[in-house]
Structure 1
Amino acid sequence: MNYLKYITMAFLIFSLQSCSDFLEQEPGTQTSIDELLQNKEGVLIALKGLYRSVESTVREERFSVYGDLQGGNIKFTPNSSGNSLGQITPGVNLREVYSFEDVAETSNSASFYSSNYSIINQANLILEYTPKLTDATETEKNQIKAEALTIRAYAHFILSQIYCQDYGYTPDASHLGVIYSKESIKSGLKYPKRETLANTYSLIIEDLKSAIDSYSDASAMSGPAYSYFNRNNTKALLARVYLYKKDWTKAYETANDIIANSGFTLVNTADLISQWAQPDLPVSEALLEFSVPKDSESATSTSMANYFGYNSGTYARYVASNDLVNLYENNDLRKQLFLTVNLPTLVNGVLTSAPYNFTRKFQDNAGYVAFRLSELYLIRAEAALENNQPSLAMADVNTIRARANATLLTSTSNLKEDILLERRKELCFEGHLFFDLVRHHKGITRNDGCISTNCSMAYPSLKFVLPIPQYNINLNLNLQQNESY
């Protein structure tokens, strides 16, 4: 009984902590949930806080570099000062994850797991209070509902990427998914079990389709439209979900809808390099980029440059591996998106100047790019190929390659591998590679710069998913741990 009492108290404390940022309206000033969410202004304050939570969670190192680091697109820079000058070591936030040796008790990604369920709880609170608003129109309430539903689905989806084996791991996706929460903790404590992955995806798709039906043509809040969920980028998320689910017909239809009807166009060849270099603005084909937070003087203290930046000798932790850089043809414009810099590196006990390739994608005040149009072309290509339309698939791949001035494909004989390779080159540093390899049932091979005890791992592997943090297992005795942890 004392043990159960402890669990319940701990869960309540966690619940309150998970809402603390949500209720913070200005430094040192908090308000109750009931008071805040009684009117439209309060709900919009809550929605703004929810976006802030989403942005900080997906941009945070534990998620934003995960797919590229585990897949082999990126490696570490040498330490820049002190007694460890020139040494190359993994960062503390991903040290065990990087080597596929994470443990439940001290998981590197414990905060990522809890942060996403905090986001889900916040979204559920907004969904529960919004229908009761008396000072908002039905159109306004539907828009708020649509954005909250999409955020709820998005959080569940990225949790499934990290903590669940790929959709094809079992023939009917009957293996473990995630807990899918559709009620806030305020409605009462519950101790649910994990859904199957099939059910998890069905619930994600249900939320996204409901959101798409509810969107209006204007965001619920003021500010740059590219930083909020809307009908177009929600469809982009849905297309990605269908891709991972291997629902090729719907993946094709949804991606095609965005390409044909969203009003977005690919960045043209002439502007490809300069648009990635512009500060404070995403590339024009970005369907969603979460804006980095700014203070009252419009200064930023954190951005994607914290992980990929280079500025006059000051540099961040991650650079492109030669495994990635060597994939590009010399005439491929995307090769110009690498900045080569020599850094002091300890080699056999001697400091040596060695070249490192920083990406130009995420310099200055770069935000987290969640979706852009290039991905939709490659989703449509993959879905077309799986639907036995290889000519259509090759045409889409060649659209991306032509924009980059790369050699065009002339044969569909190896198109499945060509599409996977094009995704690696086009979407590098945007978090896709590891998940692409796993959903294709491929292992990983990390050569250049790998300092892990596990540089190569074959598919399937129980270590391709992370452990549910033990803290959360202790809170919910119905929460099943991933196998091998």
Structure 2
Amino acid sequence: MKKINILYSATMAVLLLSSCSDFLDTMPDNRAEINTEAKITSLLVSAYPAAFPVMMAEMASDNAMDNGPLFSVEFQSQEDAYLWQDIVTDTDEDAPQGLWDACYLAIASANHALQAIETMGNPSSLAPQRGEALICRAYGHFILANTFCEAYNYETASKKLGIPYAINPETEVSPDYIRGTLEETFSKIAADIQEGLPLIDDNLYSVPKYHFNKKAANAFAARFYLYYLQADKSNYEKVIEYANAVLGATPTKVLRTYDADFGTLSSPTNVADAFISAKSPANLLITPIYSSWPYTYGPWNLSQRYGQAKEICDNENLRADGIWGTAKNLVAANTIWNPQEKMPFPKLGMYFEYSDKVNGIGHRHAIMVPFTANETILCRAEAYIMKAQPEYGKAVTDINDWLVSVCYAGKAPTVTEDDINNFYKSIKCMPTVITNAAERTVKKQLNPIIAFVDTKQENFIHCILHLRRVETIHEGLRWFDIKRYGIEISHNRDGLTPDVLTKDDPRRAFQLPQDVIDAGLEANPRN
């Protein structure tokens, strides 16, 4: 288990998440009173979760395979996630327990800030802080819901389990909590976004990209409403609206330039530093987390049992042919380091904080970029395709802008509607269980909540999911796309029959931490 150190400012309350019987309790230290604008602003630094389900999500997705018993894993949670088993042994930030605690700790900070603002009479001068706190609270619950709940389905959300939505700092020792429904959870996230987003003011921050600035908050709103699918498809209009606020009139000005950023770099460390740079207009929010994920997936000869092996990379992901042509045109495909059991594009680096240099003890950190302009433009393209009246031409424009971003200078093709439709129409869906690498393709059978209107729409979504898989490799978002579109996948297991994750498999929702279940919160079903 990794040691956890969370540093607080001198002016903020100390928030305690103690035993299994009070897993959401947040009791402020009576030595500190949050009674000034400066203290509230400082408190909000801790309203961003110090964990993200990146390792669990990547291992559970089709971006990983079993490389065999000749290789080992560093953490049991990595193997458990790959095998879709409940994670109970590990409790650090890469496991459900650590993620749960980190998210609710961040939510508690947001709630204490909101309470302090209310106590001070909700002055207009604190409106930006209120906006940030509401967006942070929504974001923390969004992470939890997408990790521990099934994908949102408007037909079943009122019957599916949500997660406790914390809206007040707790003062009881052992308050009672219920999970509520997924519909209730998403409705409350939407309410916080709607109230908080108009209040965001970039002038509040010295470094806006370390906070939910306007563009980051709008990017979060765009992704949320993409996941929050409604029967009338009305939320796709919201996705477009919020993405427009991020991308502006000329999206190419804010998209990442992969060639300029990474094309000449000669070390994984330099690539990682460039990827998280606050100078990149594509990076909308930058947050540190406690995690070993950069070691687990990165260019080191450790933890090689499960990963994006060459077989996946060459046939399904970065080095597979795409609408960009062959892999030689794609910068990320040529910025990959060994070992071949993991084939990492080193976008996330490991940053080690020593607590005892003499004994080599400390904490592993990663820097995440939860929202980028590149991912947001793909959210908008998906919304154009899936809205009630598809706008393929606008989606194609977004796709072509994305291609310019990720290809070497002068190598990006300009594709048409027919190019996209014909390319994905020509590819066979790979079988759920494969017998050899030749059966792998970039296309899998989709089981959408709302049926596609025709094969063209389906082919366009195959395109978007392919692009999203390339763009967000190693970031965990592929798992959520698998959940959203009911993609059935299988994981090979050495010497055993491959395990199939069907579209309705309850294991698509990670199990709650055991301490939380022991405290009385209803567990996710497992049959």
* TM-score of the aligned structures, taking structure 2 as reference length: 0.71
User: Contact conserved, 1:105 with 1:469, CA < 8 A, in 2?
Assistant: no
- The aligned counterpart of 1:126 is 113
Q: Compared with structure 1, are the counterparts of its residues 401 and 119 closer, same or farther at alpha carbon in structure 2 (3 Å cutoff)?
A: same
Structure 1 residue 241, shift from structure 2 partner: 0.9
Mapped partners of 1:445, 1:43: distance in 2: 47
- The aligned counterpart of 1:379 is 379
**Paired letter, 2:523:** Q
Which stretches in structure 2 are left out of the alignment for 5+ residues?
Answer: 1-17, 230-234, 264-269, 320-325, 352-365, 422-455
Give the fraction of aligned pairs with identical amino acids, expressed as a percent.
Answer: 21
User: Contact conserved, 2:47 with 2:105, CA < 8 A, in 1?
Assistant: no
**Paired letter, 1:64:** V
Find out whether 1:305 has 2:289 as its counterpart: no
Which stretches in structure 1 are left out of the alignment for 5+ residues?
Answer: 1-8, 24-31, 79-83, 294-301, 343-353
Structure 1 residue 181, shift from structure 2 partner: 1.2
The CA deviation string for residues 377-401 of structure 1, in whole angstroms up to 9 with x for no partner, is 1111111111211222222222212
* TM-score of the aligned structures, taking structure 1 as reference length: 0.77
User: Contact conserved, 1:166 with 1:438, CA < 8 A, in 2?
Assistant: yes
Structure 1 residue 235, shift from structure 2 partner: 1.3
- The aligned counterpart of 2:159 is 174
- The aligned counterpart of 1:112 is 99
Greater helix content: 1
Find out whether 1:48 has 2:45 as its counterpart: yes
**Paired letter, 1:371:** F
Mapped partners of 2:82, 2:124: distance in 1: 47
- The aligned counterpart of 1:97 is 81
User: Contact conserved, 1:64 with 1:431, CA < 8 A, in 2?
Assistant: yes
Find out whether 1:232 has 2:215 as its counterpart: yes
- The aligned counterpart of 1:268 is 257
Mapped partners of 2:131, 2:338: distance in 1: 45
User: Contact conserved, 2:22 with 2:173, CA < 8 A, in 1?
Assistant: no
Structure 1 residue 116, shift from structure 2 partner: 1.8
- The aligned counterpart of 1:324 is 313
Measured on the aligned residues, the alpha-carbon RMSD in Å equals 3.4
* SS of equivalent to 1:481: coil
Structure 1 residue 277, shift from structure 2 partner: 4.7
- The aligned counterpart of 2:346 is 360
Structure 1 residue 371, shift from structure 2 partner: 0.3
Structure 1 residue 94, shift from structure 2 partner: 3.0
The CA deviation string for residues 300-347 of structure 1, in whole angstroms up to 9 with x for no partner, is xx786344443xx666767533313433322232344543335xxxxx
Structure 1 residue 187, shift from structure 2 partner: 6.6
- The aligned counterpart of 2:71 is 87
**Paired letter, 2:35:** Q
- The aligned counterpart of 1:289 is 286
Mapped partners of 2:24, 2:236: distance in 1: 39
Mapped partners of 1:376, 1:175: distance in 2: 28
Mapped partners of 1:415, 1:451: distance in 2: 37
Task: Map 1:60-459 onto structure 2 (within 5 A).
Answer: 63-74=53-64, 87-89=71-73, 91-102=75-86, 108-133=95-120, 138-139=124-125, 141-168=126-153, 170-171=155-156, 173-186=158-171, 190-219=175-204, 221-222=205-206, 224-246=207-229, 247-260=235-248, 265-268=254-257, 270-274=259-263, 276-278=271-273, 281-282=277-278, 283-291=280-288, 305-310=294-299, 320-322=308-310, 323-326=312-315, 327=317, 328=319, 329-336=326-333, 338-341=335-338, 356-363=342-349, 365=351, 367-387=367-387, 388-405=390-407, 407=413, 408=415, 410-412=419-421, 413=456, 414-446=459-491, 455-459=499-503
Size of the aligned set, in residue pairs, is 424
Q: Compared with structure 1, are the counterparts of its residues 114 and 451 closer, same or farther at alpha carbon in structure 2 (3 Å cutoff)?
A: farther
**Paired letter, 1:126:** A
User: Contact conserved, 1:324 with 1:425, CA < 8 A, in 2?
Assistant: no
Q: Compared with structure 1, are the counterparts of its residues 451 and 237 closer, same or farther at alpha carbon in structure 2 (3 Å cutoff)?
A: farther
* SS of equivalent to 2:239: helix
* SS of equivalent to 1:287: strand
Task: Map 1:452-467 onto structure 2 (within 5 A).
Answer: 455-467=499-511
* SS of equivalent to 1:65: helix
Mapped partners of 1:453, 1:142: distance in 2: 57
* SS of equivalent to 2:370: strand
**Paired letter, 2:285:** L
* SS of equivalent to 1:341: coil
* SS of equivalent to 1:438: helix
- The aligned counterpart of 2:438 is none
User: Contact conserved, 1:72 with 1:321, CA < 8 A, in 2?
Assistant: no
Mapped partners of 2:42, 2:258: distance in 1: 40
Q: Judge which range, 188-197 or 314-323, deviates more.
A: 314-323
Q: Compared with structure 1, are the counterparts of its residues 374 and 204 closer, same or farther at alpha carbon in structure 2 (3 Å cutoff)?
A: same
**Paired letter, 1:267:** R
* SS of equivalent to 1:290: strand
